[in-house]
Structure formats: structure tokens, C-alpha cells
Amino acid sequence: MTATGRVMQDAFARVSAGQGTLIGAARAAQDGTMPDLKALGLSTTQHST
Amino acid sequence: MPGRHSRRSVLAAMAALPLTGAVSACSSKAAGGARSTGGTTRIAFWSALRGSQEVVDAFNRTHDRIQVDFQQIPSGGQGGYAKLSNAARAGNAPDVATIEYPQLPGFASDGVARDITALVGDGLRAKLLPQALGLTTFQDRVYSVPLDVEPMVMHYRTDLFEQYGLQVPRTWDEFAGLAHTVARKAPKRRLVLFPTDGATQFAAYSWQTGAHWFDTSHGAWNVSLADAPTRRVASYWQQLIDDDAVFMNAVDNRQSDAQIADGLVLTRLSGAWDAGAQMKARPAQQGQWRIAPLPQWDPARPYVGTHGGSTFAVTKDSRHPEAAMEFIEWQVSHPDSLRARLSSGTSSQYPAATALVAVGRKAFDRSYYGGQDIYRLFEQEAHKIRDGWVWGPG
């Protein structure tokens, strides 16, 4: 969860500055997580709902 | 939209490391510092947890066949995890390492934390809160043993609640109404802080609501960080933020310290461990705080997620996994271990071994919380930890 959390928290900080939304932060964290999982060589799927 | 990538399955990644216990009998010097000398097996243990030296000293005093060499390392975020990863890469990770729940899948996928399923006997399993062991188990394979498990609770300023005539909220609807009331009655104060550095708290809210950010069904890591329960949680907090009904800043900084110290924030939503942390950080607020269950979406079907908590893993480099597990089992389940840890200072950690709850309760000074038996509350809340949550490996 380290990289996922980092991306999410960066987005939370932007929300506190009036940029973006919390759900946008969650989506950004998902987008930021997938490359890491692939880099680990893991089989993955992702869902937007 | 699903997208499949199958270089290596989750099972292949996690089950790639067989137990090497057979090696232990003939090893003389293992990577990570484990040694067998004259009938005594020495194992290396790294941890950032306070009280670990006291625990190791107590273990070494009462054991002859196994002796533990302890090294205090920085917390994970302060370099401890990087140190562990680097050591594993060099082939000299310690026999036993402390890993927090959210980081465990990453270390398991990397092969640093080994599959210890065969070493976790029925006796140890029976001692542990099932929800805690469930968080260290992936597709029926166990990768670490929980020390503590920390249900989310609501810490609240009872004096300020009384001053403003506020009722302790039981539901998230009541909590939102209260947030607006506080902002109206006390414009400089807010009911709560939404932490910008609180991804694990946001995860716990989502977990409580039924989210599954990660799961390992069908042989893959399935990722869904914006599922319907998460969208519900995000929408709820977004409204409070948009209404200026909550603070929104980092919790791990001076601003947050000042908000709590100056009585500007009336509640803290965090794990059970935070009760002890509050006592140490702000002794002058003795008597001003109480603890209540986390608000619920549906009080008839109460759930919580967890916030914090640590586990012990046996690393791939251990030449003595059986000895390492013997130390781990003692550390998580023996009353003398918890007593030794608590001798290093105040703690409200909630033990994953249910028999140790009484030890923690007995050692805890209730006066800070006006005599409240907070362990009774933690015990009640621990049983509400929602099954099925899996932390991700990224």
C-alpha cells in the first residue's frame, strides 16, 4: 500500500488546496498503483466500479 | 474496464519461496546473523517498535536454546522498510522483522516475507483474533503473525461536548450533523480533522463501508479503489470539506498537534493505540477525553476497519525459521512479553492474542480517561472488524 497511499495523499493535499475531489484522489491512487503491480510482475485486473 | 496482465500470478509470486527449515540443523552462520553455536540458536530481529529491547531481554532470560540479537531500526516510513528491502536484496535480512499490515503484501510479493503457513500451528491460530490473522493470510497462505490489531474508535473531548451540549454520535448522519453544529457554535473549532496524510484512515472508512480495494480471487490482484462503498465515503467527507465543517490538513505535523493541544478539534478518529499516544503527548489533558465506538452507517449492522497495528514476519534469509517462529509466538502471546513491552512506557495497543487483553487492561492507568475501561470498548469493537479486507502490494 506504500505507493498507493503516497499517490492518494498527494491528491488529498491538492484537495485541501481546492484542487480536485476525494473520489478523484482514489481514482488517481488506482491509476498510480497499476504500474507498480505490473513492475512486480503480478497478474492484475482493475475495475472502475 | 478490466485489463489483464499475467506475467506472474499472485500465487506464483507469493508461493515462490519454500520453507527452508531443513537447512537450520546444519547451518553455522546464516545470512542476517543467525547462528547455531553449542546447542544455542541465535536469531536476528529488527524492529522499530518501542519496548522491543525489553521483550527480547525477557525472552533471552527465559530461554536457553534460542537467543535473540535485537537491532532497533527506524520506523518503516523513516527508512526502516528501505533498510529491510536492501538487506533482503543483499541476502542478509534478519530472521524476524516487524512489518505493518498495509506493507505486508508488498513484502510477501517481493519474497522478503516468507510463507510461514506450515509453521503456524493450530495452538497459535487459536490464540489470535481471527480477523487479525485474516489480514496476514492471502489465499490461505500465512505471511506474518499479528502482534496487535487496532479497531477504529472515536476519541472525543468530553468536556467540550458537555460545554456545547453535544451528544456522542452513533451514526455517520449524526456525526455530519454534529460537524455542522460545532462549526456554527464554535467557529474556530471543528468536530474532526480529515487528514491529508491519512490514506490508511480513508482506507479504514472505506473498509468499514464494505469496500474491497484489493482482492486476490481468480489468481490475480484485482484493484478497485473507487468502488461503490469508497465513493459513498468520499462523497460523505467531500460534503463536509466543501461545507467547511471539518479541518483538512496533515495529522503528522505541528498544525495538527496545536489543533489538539488547543482544543480546536473535538474528536480524533483513529485506532485503539492512539489512546496511549494521546496520554504521552498531552498529559495536561487528563480527564478531558473519552472513547466511543466509531459512528456507523447502520447501527444494526456495525462494522469497523482498523488503523495501525504490526505483525512479525520470518524473512526469506532466515536459516532458522522454526526458532524464529518460536520467538514470534512467545512475543505475540506470552503475558511476560506484553508486560515487558509495557514496561517501556504507556501503551494502549490492542493485542491480537485475545488472552493478552486482560494483561493490557490491568496495566493501563484509566485515570486519563476518567476511569473508563477502554479495553472493554476495544474488545467490543475488535469483534466488529469487517472480514474480507486485503491490503495491496503496491
Q: How far apart are CA B2 and CA A41, in angstroms?
A: 17
CB contact under 8 Å between B2 and A1, yes or no, is no
Mean pLDDT of chain B: 92
Q: Which of B9, B237, B391 sits opposite A22 (nearest CB)?
A: B237
Question: Superfamily for B33-149+309-352?
Answer: Periplasmic binding protein-like II (3.40.190.10)
Structural domain boundaries enclosing A28:
2-39
Which residues on neighbouring strands pair with residue B141, listed in sequence order? B138
How sure is the predictor about B32, in pLDDT bands with cuts at 50, 70 and 90?
low
Specify the residue for cell string 503496491.
B394
Pick A13's closest partner by Cβ from B196, B200, B230: B196
Strand extents, DSSP E, chain B: 35-37, 40-47, 66-72, 96-100, 137-138, 141-142, 145-146, 152-157, 193-195, 214-215, 221-223, 247-249, 267-271, 289-293, 310-314
- pLDDT reading at B169 higher than 80: yes
Report if residue A44 sits inside a domain.
no
DSSP secondary structure letters along A1-49:
-HHHHHHHHHHHHHHHTT-S-HHHHHHHHHHHHHHHHHHTT--EEE---
Residue A36: its chain B contacts at CB < 8 A?
Answer: 393-394
Please determine whether the domains at B33-149+309-352 and B152-306+367-382 fall in the same fold group of CATH. Answer: yes
Look at residue B14 in the predicted model and tell me its pLDDT.
53
Domain assignment of residue A14, yes or no: yes
CA distance B366 to B348: 11
Among residues B86, B67, B140, B63, which one has the least CA distance to residue B334?
Answer: B63
In chain B, the residue whose alpha carbon lies closest to the alpha carbon of A36 is B394
Evaluate whether ipTM surpasses 0.90. yes
Position B133 pLDDT exceeds 50: yes
Q: Is the per-residue pLDDT at B277 higher than 60? A: yes
* A20-47 average pLDDT score: 93
Chain A residues 3-42 with a CB less than 8 Å from chain B? 3-6, 8-9, 12-13, 15-16, 21-23, 25-27, 29-30, 32-34, 36-38, 40-42
A32 is a domain residue:
yes
Give B7's contacts in chain A (Cβ within 8 Å): 38, 41-43
Res B25: pLDDT: 35
How many domains does one find in chain A? 1
Spell out which residues of chain B touch residue A17, defining contact as CB-CB under 8 Å. Answer: none
Task: Decide: B59 and B337 in contact? Cβ < 8 Å.
Answer: yes
Task: Tell which residue, B69, B62, B67, has the closest CA to residue B45.
Answer: B69
Please report the pLDDT score of residue A2 as a whole number: 78
Q: Mean pLDDT over residues B11-15, rounded?
A: 47
What percentage of chain B reaches a pLDDT higher than 70? 91
Name which of B109, B134, B110 is nearest B120 in CA terms.
Answer: B134
Give the nearest partner residue to A12 out of B109, B196, B391, using CB atoms.
B196
What's the fold here for domain B152-306+367-382?
A: D-Maltodextrin-Binding Protein; domain 2 (3.40.190)
- In chain B, where are the structural domains located? 33-149+309-352, 152-306+367-382
pLDDT the model gives residue B11 = 42
Q: Span B92-108, mean pLDDT?
A: 97
Nearest-Cα distance to chain A for B102, in Å, is 5
